[in-house]
Amino acid sequence: MNLTHLDSNDRPKMVDVGEKEPTKRKATASGVISMSREAYEAVISNSAKKGPVVQTAVVAAIMGTKKTPELIPMCHPLLLTGIECEVEELPDLPGFKLYVTAKLDGKTGVEMEALTGVSIGLLTIYDMLKAIDKGMEIRDIRLESKEGGKSGDYKRQR
């Protein structure tokens, strides 16, 4: 099996996408953070001492998506055309599910950007609520769907 991030001498390399034609690409990732009822209520009532948790997490998710090539060594710097975030309240858990969708017209996919955005957004929620609940749990960070590129479309089966 040939690994695309290794050269013929087994040294790390960034894949050359120079010859590829740009296509429309889109990827959506998600992740969940569970927490105590007290922490959840602080978010819902907007009474967390560090400020508006959901809004801050969305901004962090967008920033994380944009900074992916600075954090993941073999990711290409990309000219993203859009980033969308959605936060779903999970009162029965209690917790939240964060979705990040990244879009571009380019030569490489945006799965890593969406996954990084989700990770940073959820870590921001943890940071903002850790004074209330250090036992929060971040889990199920995963690719939900992707469109475009040579490997075609993908949609997670529920």
Q: Please, are residues 64 and 121 in contact by the beta-carbon 8 Å criterion? A: yes
What does the alpha-carbon distance between residue 95 and residue 132 come to, in Å, rounded to a whole number? Answer: 13
Q: Please, are residues 132 and 45 in contact by the beta-carbon 8 Å criterion? A: no
Q: Where in the sequence numbering do the catalytic residues fall?
A: 127
What does the alpha-carbon distance between residue 40 and residue 43 come to, in Å, rounded to a whole number? Answer: 5
Q: Taking the CB of residue 127, how many other CB atoms lie within 10 A of it?
A: 14
What does the alpha-carbon distance between residue 62 and residue 8 come to, in Å, rounded to a whole number? Answer: 36
